Amino acid sequence: MEIEILLYEGFDELDAIGPYEVFRTAAEAGGDLATSLVTHHPTERITASHGLRVEPDRVLGEPDLLVVPGGGWSARNDRGTWGEYERNDIPPLLAEQYDRGATVASVCTGAMLSERAGLLDGRPAITHASALSDLRETDAEVIEARVVDTGDLLTAGGVTSGIDLALWLVEREIGKKLAKTVATTLEYERGEVYRA
């Protein structure tokens, strides 16, 4: 399975790095997963919300699974999900990836980018607590869960729920045994998943 995690200026570090570590640990334990950090335009470096600088592997390709982190929604500035929501460069890319058959999974306020792409209309979803009122104003059905799985579209709540999302995807796509092995390695107690 080809997995790409989409980075942009002001993304929340743990939203991306948590799932990245889960997927890479699963691959090291024998899972057929290849995980890359990507951007929507060529760049040498991305700076996350807390100042971490990351060198992406490449630009967005055609993954089987696209993970979209959140971060910076509440700040309402140019960086992070709020800025990306307002610019509306990333949401059309999410819709395009989804339309070609990729599974799109958002972490935290990354769900607001999926919402802007029209992917959450009439579907169960969750986001970070700071954006729940905004999500409730859309056509999404807000579900109080760590992870909401509607098959080809998944959303996860705030920050650490990205780890739950990734562990659930490892279980769903490869198997419960591998997901348990990864959770044990990370010493992580998993949260609930809502399946539509």
Residue whose C-alpha is closest to residue 124's, from 110, 113, 139, 105: 139
Which pLDDT score is estimated for 62? 98
pLDDT in tens, 62-77: 999 999 999 999 999 9
Domain spans of the chain?
Answer: 2-195
In this predicted structure, what is the pLDDT of residue 173?
Answer: 97
Segments in the chain below pLDDT 70: none
* Angstrom distance (rounded) from CA 145 to CA 125: 9
Question: Which numeric CATH code is attached to 2-195?
Answer: 3.40.50.880
pTM over 0.85: yes
Q: What is the pLDDT of residues 166-184, one digit of tens each?
A: 999 999 999 999 999 999 9
